[in-house]
Amino acid sequence: MPLKIYESLLVGPLACNCYIVGDPDTRQAIVIDPGDDPEVILDAVAGHGLSLGLTVATHAHFDHIMAAEALRLATGAPFFLHSKDLPLMDWVPASLQLFLGRAGGAAPEVDSTLADGDELKVGSARLEVIHTPGHSPGSICLVSSEAEQERVLFSGDTLFAQSVGRTDLPGGDMDQLIASVKNRLFLLGDLPVYPGHGPATMLDRERFENPFVGEGSRFWG
């Protein structure tokens, strides 16, 4: 049974795309990028008749993790993050103040760290971890493990429709980001792409048309 995308929610003041995916047979779910609004996420999980198996963030910027602790406490579901983004957790309170003028907001507990090639599993649903540094040192993308024609990619803030993630925050590196997209993501074939912000796209469209990493960009070659 292929992984099913149950819902995409816009959460938090920076409009992060939070995805609820899972296994239709076991009704177990994965929440990708629990950025904020935990009650909204929990209501959506329950509304689809699902139980939460785990949560995962594509990176440790506050707008992708601020609901993770509430989801942990409410459901017991473990929270996963790439190991190289653990140092960014210390920046969460300062980044909240910088971007939102909001004090407080401790980072969530991380139950398990991820590395390139790891696999997240709930029931028969599988997501492979692709380490794509650049937006942050531990940025990851997640690709489903179905047959090629059914695979989908969750790209976090590495790749957007007609754009890429910013690299001017702590740990960002434009050269790394470009290499991640060109040498990892563009080798996957033409998959649907569900990014951390903005609309979905297709890998081939970004390969040919993206002004930052597409074949016509000044970074190509």
**How many CB atoms are closer than 10 A to CB 119?**
11
* Angle at which helices 68-75 and 38-47 cross, to 10°: 50
Domain extent for 175: 4-209
Q: Give the CA count within 13 Å in the CB-facing half-sphere of 23.
A: 18
Q: Is the pLDDT of residue 172 over 90?
A: yes
Segment 49-78, tens digit of pLDDT: 999 999 999 999 999 999 999 999 999 999
**Amino acid 105: pLDDT:** 67
Tell me the average pLDDT of the chain: 93
Q: Work out the pLDDT band at 187, boundaries 50, 70, 90.
A: very high
Instruction: Kindly state whether residue 72 falls inside one of the protein's structural domains.
Output: yes
First-to-final CA distance of the chain:
39
Give the DSSP H/E element, type plus range, for residue 180. helix 174-183
Q: Work out the pLDDT band at 101, boundaries 50, 70, 90.
A: confident
Strand order in the sheet with 119-122: 119-122, 125-131, 140-144, 153-156, 192-195, 201-202
Q: How many domains does the chain have?
A: 1
**Amino acid 2: pLDDT:** 76
**How many percent of the chain have pLDDT more than 70?**
95
Mean pLDDT of 23-49: 97
Among candidate residues 167, 145, 169, 159, the one with its CA nearest the CA of residue 204? 159
**Amino acid 1: pLDDT:** 60
Segment 109-154, tens digit of pLDDT: 999 999 999 999 999 999 999 999 999 999 999 999 866 568 999 9
Instruction: Kindly state whether residue 172 falls inside one of the protein's structural domains.
Output: yes
H helix count then E strand count, the chain: 5, 14
Label the pairing between strands 112-114 and 79-82. Answer: parallel
103 or 64, which is more confident? 64
Segment 188-214, tens digit of pLDDT: 999 999 999 999 999 999 999 999 999
Instruction: Kindly state whether residue 218 falls inside one of the protein's structural domains.
Output: no
Instruction: Kindly state whether residue 102 falls inside one of the protein's structural domains.
Output: yes
Instruction: Kindly state whether residue 216 falls inside one of the protein's structural domains.
Output: no
Residue carrying the six token digits 């754009």: 163
Among candidate residues 68, 57, 79, the one with its CA nearest the CA of residue 139? 57
Instruction: Kindly state whether residue 214 falls inside one of the protein's structural domains.
Output: no
Residues forming a β-bridge with 120? 127
Instruction: Kindly state whether residue 105 falls inside one of the protein's structural domains.
Output: yes
Burial category of 183 from C-beta neighbours within 10 Å (exposed 0-12, middle 13-18, buried 19 and up) = exposed
Instruction: Kindly state whether residue 114 falls inside one of the protein's structural domains.
Output: yes
95-102's contacts with Cβ under 8 Å and 24+ in sequence apart are 95/61, 95/62, 96/62, 99/14, 99/62, 99/63, 100/13
**Amino acid 217: pLDDT:** 81
Integer Cα distance of 147 and 66 in angstroms: 33
Mean pLDDT of 11-35: 96
Residue 133: both structure tokens together:
């540094």
Domain with residue 170: its CATH number is 3.60.15.10
Confirm if 135 and 163 have CB atoms less than 8 A apart.
no
156: left (phi over 0), alpha (psi -120 to 50) or beta: left
